[in-house]
Amino acid sequence: MASKKEETKKEAKEKEEVVEEVEEEEAEEEAEEEKEETPLDKYKKAGEVASKIREHLREMAKPGVKALDLCETADKMIAEAGMKPAFPLNVSINNHCAHYTCPWEDELVLDKQDVVKIDVGVQYDGFIADTALTVAFNDVHNDLIKASQEATETAVKVIRVGGYTGKIGDLIENIIEGYGFTTIRDLSGHLLLPYRVHGPKTIPNVSGRKGNLILQDEAYAIETFASTGSGESHSDRTKLYIVRLAEGRFPLRTDAAKQVRRLLDREYHRLPVATRWIYKELGTAKAKMGIRELVQVGAIYQYHVLADVSDAYVSQHEHTVYMTPEGPIKTT
């Protein structure tokens, strides 16, 4: 027969085991809750990081600062947050509308006369935050910047589930033309999908289009541009600094091309990639050779720099929204 002392020890041990079991169950439940992040949770997390980077770069962008420093700062901040880029930081200046990211060893320096568009893309588990702003270093372009800012902010307020994106285009064009500028007619806001920056639905920046039906649980990048120029962007075929792996299978001849394809597929999930990242990973000679072959066989989608007429100035503002029955949730 056991003594009282032995019984007390036994009871204490049983209590410790019960406590340990409860703690293990709670830890498992917490881990399970962490695993069960919703799409909105992921959009919010990506948006929080993208917004922080956007605001940091707003303060960092000054005359005399190298554009490459802005790009590398964005790369570093995304990595430190444990996330990945949805696309390379765009630093599109003056008449450039989009797709300028710094090439390898770029020496471009911001000038006091510049209008600088900073477009940030962050992805968390494939869920994307896309946000942009414009900075200038004198008051000459204040109205140009206000035009795209007001257009974007107003569109964020009015977008609704069950509406059509074309109605938003009417609003955007009216606001920008009210400031005396023109929209960039061939650029638009866009549906965001996992690991896909440009989904099949668009939010036009011009009036007169029906657009697409907006559904619950969709995410959109609302993106507007105001221009002093023609309002039409053209591709500068001499400037290719962003690429993306195209869909399909393509026979490749060289090991360099195969390595570039593998990098774009496995590391970047076929999202847009800066050529400088490829150079850094594989070396300049191999990267150039691989990219050249991929372009030749049509295995790469090319994001040439887009620009309005040479003497134009263009502003841009952008936010990501997640659609709910109660209204949009701005994640950036």
Write out the catalytic residue numbers: 119, 130, 190, 198, 223, 318
| Main-chain phi, psi angles of 218, to 5 degrees | -90, 155
Residue that has been written with the tokens 């510049």 in this structure: 114
- Output the 3-class SS for the chain: CCCHHHHHHHHHHHHHHHHHHHHHHHHHHHHHHHHCCCHHHHHHHHHHHHHHHHHHHHHHCCCCCEHHHHHHHHHHHHHHCCCEECCCCEEEECCEEECCCCCCCCCCECCCCCEEEEEEEEEECCEEEEEEEEEECCHHHHHHHHHHHHHHHHHHHHCCCCCEHHHHHHHHHHHHHHCCCECCCCCCEEEEECCECCCCCEECCCCCCCCCECCCCCEEEEEEEEECCCCCCEEEEEEEEEEEECCCCCCCCCHHHHHHHHHHHHHCCCCCEEHHHHHHHHCHHHHHHHHHHHHHCCCEEEEEEEECCCCCCEEEEEEEEEEECCEEEECC
Instruction: Answer yes or no: are the C-beta atoms of 43 and 193 closer than 8 Å.
Output: no
Long-range contacts of 71-74 (CB under 8 A, 24+ apart): 71/101, 71/102, 71/274, 71/276, 74/120
